[in-house]
Amino acid sequence: KVWELIRHKVNPVAACPRDVEDLKKRWRDLKRRDRSKLCRLSQGCGPPGPAAALGLLLAPEEMPPAAAPPG
């Protein structure tokens, strides 16, 4: 029921409609991506600055303009 509710909330604003199985796969992929980024962050050399931390935790399109890497 919860996944159906999520599907009804996501599909009106999504670029392409997704069924429940697609949403579950996307959720697993996002969790895996974030875990990987957090792992890289924790294995870094010294404490990263705020922009570096944002670069590891957010996709480029999610980053604020001031913190976005050049290029």
- 29-70, pLDDT tens digit by residue? 998 888 888 877 777 655 555 555 545 556 666 665 655 455
Using CA of residue 7, residue 12, residue 13, residue 14, what is the dihedral sign? positive
Q: Which range among 7-11, 12-16, 33-37, 60-64 shows the weakest confidence by mean pLDDT?
A: 60-64
Find out whether 41 and 48 touch, Cβ atoms under 8 Å: yes
- Predicted confidence at residue 37, as pLDDT, reads 82
Whether 18 contacts 7, CB under 8 Å:
yes
pTM for the structure as a whole:
0.51
Helices then strands, counting H and E runs in the chain, come out as 3, 0
| Predicted local confidence at residue 35, as pLDDT | 84
